[in-house]
Structure 1
Amino acid sequence: MSLNCQYDVLSYPFYLRDQSRRISLETVLPLPENVPRIQGVVGGDLLAEPPRFVVGEDQITVSGKLHPYLVYIGKTDEEMYRGAGDEELSDEERGNLRAPREFGIGWRDEEEPIFEETIQFPGLRPEMMVDVDTVAAGCVFEKEGEDRVVARSQIEIRIHVASQKNAGILTGVTCVPADRFQAGKEQLLVEEIVGMRRERLNVQAPLLLPNLKPGLARIVRHSVRPTGLAWEVNRGKIMVKGFLDTSLIYVGSDDDGRPTEIFTNEWARNAGNGLAFETALDLEGAEEGMTVIPRVQVVRAELERSSQRELRANVRLEVEVKVSRTLTREMVVEVTSPANEVLDFQKYLLEMEEPLGESSGEVDLDLMVNLPFGQPGMDRLLGWRGSPGAVTVEAGEGKVMLEGMLNLQLFYVAETADETRLVMAEWGSASGNELPLAGMIDFAGLKPGALLRSYLSLENLNLEMTSERTLRLTGALRVRALGRTPRAIMVLRDCALVPPVDPATRPSMLFYVVQPGDTLWKIARRYQTTVEALSRSNQVMNPESLESGQKLLIPKHPMAAAQ
């Protein structure tokens, strides 16, 4: 009688626990020579480029560039407006005195701050699959003279790691004559990573101001945000497309080109005039039905004034896709035989994370927001930007539960008897006045204890004044959650039929000295016994931990010891 075993290698990703680090930076930023000097700081924001990183043993070094943008009140040339001697000011000079003096300036290229941070990450290895996000968590600007500011920034670094593991498995057993042995099998769902692609994409397009809006004298602030992301897979290509919502705060101009008031305008997907983008990434092996994780980040966004009614948008995006598929693998977990036959097995505990699928949904937002204490009341809203902050995601019974905070930045006009000025208000961890964010989405079959990876984005965010100090915030948090469940299963790596041996031919005390490269499996095959019999006779707790020179007793009655 003979026994034949079929083997295979099981490959699966094992996800390490995410690590995050928040770092603080302080940078002195000088103003360029060709812009007005600073009278007062309104505020600003920060854009973090996709980071670079170097993976080492138990640590990772992350570096990147930051693009700060400052909104400030510029100084006027008093001699221009004062007039000569005691003469009265002209109408044009009076108009210039009343004109908005808000300016916006960004720092790029060699002037931009650069950061580098080394983070300890136990278990990390250079060959692992690593993904790093950097998120600007806030930036405060302080005047340090009329020609420079100090930017105090907070950056959150988020690190995701997957280790590709391989495990030998027994997939089938055949014997001659047939049907002498019975193999018990189990199925596993296994995630297989197909690949990842990343590319830079430039989007250039004109932006026209509506006829009802005044012309453009100068840009104060702008922001660009990807939205409406969609994708499809077709013959090894992944099509990623979406829109860029662009908001603008600007100083208007009259028919003669003179500055007037501060205005705002938005080009958005919901309004039908957002900037569309589309790209195709080649990825061999990608097919319909696979799981695609796309990500689009703004690397750089510039708006240039072409005329009083037209701007030119130049946006550089980084588009990334990760593709995986779910396979069903069958493996042998037990083999039974007649009572007079002895089988030996190599067993081990396989610990992995089995994919559960995914679910998508939206959490409706409806919050009443108060202006921070000490800020002037609102006369007119200009623009806002929001993003989910530190959000924890937990698996419940058929539900994904979310709890965290919302970061919000608002620009508005405040009017007093003496002046009209631009004001910025912020809510978030950097300013210590977080807005709550909580909700849940359905996930059929989800159980408590499951592991989740979530992808969040704000959609249709809108602010409405309800009084000069309160606002109503509405919108939706779009949630995509991918689930995994931990699974531990005892599987067989090998199986062998133990030929019968006559105990009378074996000495009562037979010892073997372990040699380099030996395993209990190899020794059991040599002496026609079983791994279990060797383990019991020598009180070996871990069959994988033999030491060279260790003395082992070979059991005289291997079949009895193994049963």
Structure 2
Amino acid sequence: MELLKKNIRMTWQKAKAVTQITLEEDRNVPDSRPDTESIIQTKGVVRLEEVKSSQGQIHIVGYLEVHILYTAENEAHTLHRLETKLPFDEMLNMEEAQAGDSIDLEKEIEDLNVHLINSRKLSIQAVVTFRASISDLYDAQAAVELHGVENLGTKTREIRPLSLTVQTRDILRVREEIPLASNKPNIGEILWENVQLRGTDIRVLDGKLDVRGELFVFVLYNADDGSGARQWMEAALPFQQILELSGAAPSNVPDVEIDLSSASIEAKADYDGEPRLLGMEAVLELSIRLFQEETVEILEDVYTPDMELIPQRKEETYESLVVRNFSKCRAGERMRLEAKKPRMLQICHSQGEVKVDDIRAEVRGLKVEGAVYVTILYVTSDDAMPFALMHGNIPFQHLIEVEGLNENCRYLLRASAEQLSATMIDSEEIEVKAGIDLNAFVVEQHKENCVFAVESQPLDLERIKELPSITGYIVQPGDCLWDIAKEWHTTMDRIREMNHLEGPIQPGMRLILSKKIGMGAQEA
């Protein structure tokens, strides 16, 4: 007797933990830089140098890279850039953690404030949140066939498990050269840059992954013409790369997270030797999981009139796909400058970050609420402060339609800005419109008592002798041929043959049943 089993590869979250750290340091302005008059813009990037698990703890080492754009305290009010690093070494307690665990670590800068102590010293304060989780792989097993048994009757049930086929991480590098427009002066010094990842799309090919998207680039620079004029430019750079990925198949269901890990921009010479090219290199980190949706007939029960078969069962958990939904929503808002802010002459650049505040499961699907946090750099009418920054947020809400959503479902939502536009209404007001991508991955968790072994023992002949040799039976609602055969100790084939059945049985049908017993189908 041989029992064949189906393995369903699963991943489950063993543990998760959240910690928040506060970084606070003072930094002197380097001697090579002029005195600081006012701060225009700041940005921070969390760089991880080591993430290591041990018994009950996760060790996180890295630094916060802080960039500062400021106006100098001189007659020309020139713009300058500062960069500094705030190191951290944090132990995150996680009781279930063990040495060698694979760790998923999300990092988010909750707050970053830089203010002047004096013209030569800055105070930097930041709050960084780390969300760590540890997942394990395991195989759920369910019997699908039993071989080596005479006169076997099987009762099966159809399930549609989502099995993990590929889980890995990888890196893509996108390199582009951006030429300056002919009416722009040569590049002297790059003062500020911003690179945003938008509109990503993942397609699974045979043994490959097709990664597409757009990098939206902004650069502010000093002209190299002796005038000290500030210039800026924006460019949308579409990209497509093919990533080799063993085990990938077009039928896979992808769950891929793409993160813009870092981006650098430098001035480069063109064919004439003039600094009129911007060389950009972006590093994209990919967390890849590919699933295969299958239809599997698992054994629910087994029976033969030749011996007693006793299925051994245990509870297994598996997941099935409910929906993979790609939604888009629009949001817009008018924003006014604060009274203390200088008036606006021209918009330089706008950027937005999508944050989801709440996700609620409703009858029709997932109700998502959040906001796009917008930052706008603009040219002012104040010569003492040539550039200024405007902040605001655009609230949004959207219903992601999900049929079959219930309390056993779990979901993963990724939100990002697809596009962002800002238009001046007047010197004090801006209209901002945003397009938001909402990608939902919803699965339902099931618990099944699966057969994992079958024991056999001799028939209870005394009990079988009590059954009549031939019985008349009227089919009841809910009856199936397999249950009738097992109860009256016969086989489905024998019932079909004796009653000339060609189709399924129906309630009210009259059947003649003849019991069958012993090896070789010996009649009692």
- Give the alignment's TM-score, normalised by structure 2: 0.77
**Shift, 1:325, TM fit:** 2.2
Gaps of 5+ in 1: 77-96, 269-273, 428-433, 504-563
Report the equivalent of 1:282: 244
Aligned partner of 1:299 in structure 2 is 262
Residue 64 (structure 2) pairs with residue 66 (structure 1): yes
Find out whether 1:102 has 2:65 as its counterpart. Answer: no
Which residue does the alignment assign to 1:344? 310
Paired residue for 1:424, among 389, 393, 399? Answer: 389
Q: Deviations over 1:338-385 (max 9, x none)?
A: 6x9644332222233323241112111112234456434433322222
1:56 has 2:54 as partner = yes
Alpha-carbon offset, residue 486 of structure 1: 1.8
**2:228 equivalent among 259, 267, 277:** 259
Letter in structure 2 aligned against 1:209: L
Task: Report if aligned partners of 1:249, 1:383 keep a CA contact under 8 Å in 2.
Answer: no
1:250 to 221, 244, 255: 221
RMSD: 3.3
Q: Among all aligned residue pairs of Structure 1 and Structure 2, give the percentage whose two residues are the same amino acid.
A: 15
Contact 1:60 1:120 in 2 (8 A): yes
Taking a change above 3 Å as real, the CA distance of residues 208 and 137 of structure 1, as seen in their structure-2 partners, is farther
Match of 1:478 in 2: 437
Runs of 4+ in 1 over 6 A off after TM superposition: none
Contact 1:195–1:283 (CA<8 Å) still a contact in 2? no
Selected match of 2:414 from 455, 466, 469? 455
Determine the structure 1 residue equivalent to 2:330: 364
One-letter amino acid of the structure 2 residue matched with residue 474 of structure 1: K
1:331 matched to 2:302:
no
Deviation, 1:267, is: 1.0
Q: Distance in 1 between matches of 2:425 and 2:20?
A: 35
* SS of match in other structure, 1:375: coil
Residues 78-89 of structure 1 aligned to structure 2 (within 5 Å): none
C-alpha distance in structure 2 between counterparts of 1:492 and 1:373, whole Å: 72
Residue 219 (structure 1) aligns with: 190
Deviation at residue 279 of structure 1 after TM alignment: 4.0
Contact 1:143 1:150 in 2 (8 A): yes
1:177 aligns with 2:150: yes
Residue in 2 that maps onto 1:81: none
What corresponds to 1:315 in structure 2?
Answer: 281
TM-score (norm 1): 0.72
Following the alignment from structure 2 to structure 1, what is the Cα–Cα distance between the partners of residues 100 and 304? 42
Q: Which stretches in structure 2 are left out of the alignment for 5+ residues?
A: 463-524
- Tell me the alpha carbon deviations over residues 94-130 of structure 1, each in whole angstroms, 9 at most, x when there is no partner: xxx3x342222334xxxx2232333234544556553
| Partner Cα separation in structure 2 for residue 488 and residue 463 of structure 1 | 50
In the TM superposition, what is the alpha-carbon distance from 1:476 to its structure 2 partner?
A: 0.7
Q: Summarize the alignment of residues 500-519 of structure 1 with structure 2, pairs less than 5 Å apart.
A: none
Distance 1:193 1:40, change over 3 A: same
Please report how far the alpha carbon of residue 469 of structure 1 lies from its aligned counterpart in structure 2 after TM superposition.
3.5
Q: Decide which of 86, 89, 102 is 1:116's aligned counterpart.
A: 89
Offset at 1:484?
A: 0.8
Cross-structure match for 1:535: none
Displacement of 1:187 after TM fit? Answer: 1.7
- Give SS of 1:379's match: strand
Q: Which amino acid aligns with 2:417?
A: L
Post-superposition offset of 1:50: 5.8
SS in 1 for 2:160: strand
Asked if the contact 1:36/1:74 (under 8 Å) is kept, the reply is yes
Q: Summarize the Cα distance change of 1:402–1:372 in structure 2 as closer, same or farther, 3 Å threshold.
A: farther
AA of the residue aligned to 2:395: P
* Contact 1:393 1:452 (8 Å CA) reproduced: no
Could you tell me whether the CA contact under 8 Å between 1:298 and 1:315 is conserved in 2?
A: no
Cα distance, 1:72 vs structure 2: 0.9
Instruction: Specify the alignment match of 1:197 in structure 2.
Output: 169
- Quote the Cα distance in structure 2 between the aligned partners of 1:224 and 1:294: 18
Q: Which residue of 2 is the match for residue 42 of structure 1?
A: 40
1:487-498 mapped onto 2 (5 Å cutoff): 487-498=446-457
Tell me which residue corresponds to 1:541: none
Cα distance in 1, alignment partners of residues 401 and 15 from structure 2 = 24
Deviation at 1:313, TM superposition (A): 2.4
| Structure richer in strand, relative to its length | 2
Could you tell me whether the CA contact under 8 Å between 1:397 and 1:448 is conserved in 2?
Answer: no
How far apart in 1 are the matches of 2:180 and 2:6? 64
Within 2, Cα distance between the matches of 1:155 and 1:435?
A: 23
